[in-house]
Amino acid sequence: MNKALLLIFTRNPELGKVKTRLAATIGAEAALKIYNFLLNHTFEITRDLTINKHVYYSETIWEDDIWQPSVYEKKLQSGDDLGDRMKNAFERGFKDGYEKIVIIGSDIYDISSKDIESAFEALDTKELVIGEAQDGGYYLLGMNQLYPELFENKQWGTNTVFNDTVADFKDRSVFYLPMRNDIDLYEDLLEHEIFNPYTKANEVKNQ
């Protein structure tokens, strides 16, 4: 058994239910198009990684989508908030016998295959690995055993999550990945050449 597991948390790509802060500026249809673009990016950078991969859906498991069953095992998130859902996914992975588990979202354009590979490599010598997001959250978290406190007493979706999580690391060995920016606001689009801001994001290049 491959002892490394990548968890990919994703929202079902439905109109009006994804990238709502971005949609407030560019509209729900454009926001959904960008979200699907980001899903495809995540698929591209993860499909060839030689580790086991579980995709956790937010609402329902979709059988016919980009996450090929031959590459990704499909599961459903469970829990009252994001912290509970992530904790439950980690707990399930460790109970299944995995020794190194990393979680990412599905909508970070700046993340690369190398970031994920570096995270798993770091877990050979470190207890935890984390990648800070520019908005104050994190885009990647990895561990070689479950630390439930990392998922408790957090204000999810705010700019305090990264610092509050790091505060829980006391006396732990930690590897820090470079900061990355996610796409939550219209201003975030302007930092990426792949998006065309001059059409108010109604079109995404190469799509």
Q: What is the CATH number of the domain that holds 148?
A: 3.90.550.10
Q: What value does the mean pLDDT of the chain take?
A: 89
- What percent of the chain is predicted at pLDDT more than 70? 88
Bridge partners, 132 (sequence order): 138
Domain for residue 205, yes or no? no
Domain for residue 84, yes or no? yes
Instruction: Give the Cα-Cα-Cα angle 21, 24, 27 (nearest 5 degrees).
Output: 120
Element at 119 (helix H, strand E): helix 113-122
Domain for residue 206, yes or no? no
Neighbours of 68 (CB within 10 A): 11
Report the C-alpha gap between 171 and 156 in whole angstroms.
24
Domain for residue 62, yes or no? yes
Domain for residue 17, yes or no? yes
Q: What is the pLDDT of residues 113-156, one digit of tens each?
A: 999 999 999 999 999 999 999 889 999 999 999 999 999 999 99
Domain for residue 53, yes or no? yes
Q: List the domain range (segments joined by +) for residue 125.
A: 4-199
Q: What is the pLDDT of residues 6-37, one digit of tens each?
A: 999 999 999 988 888 888 888 888 889 888 98
Neighbours of 3 (CB within 10 A): 13
Q: What is the pLDDT of residues 38-57, one digit of tens each?
A: 999 999 999 999 999 999 99
What is the domain count for the chain?
A: 1
Tokens (6 digits) for 100: 């190194």
DSSP 123-171: TTT-SEEEEEETTSSEEEEEESS--GGGGSS--TTSTTHHHHHHHTTTT
Domain for residue 207, yes or no? no
Can you tell me which residue has the tokens 């935890």? 128
Domain for residue 50, yes or no? yes
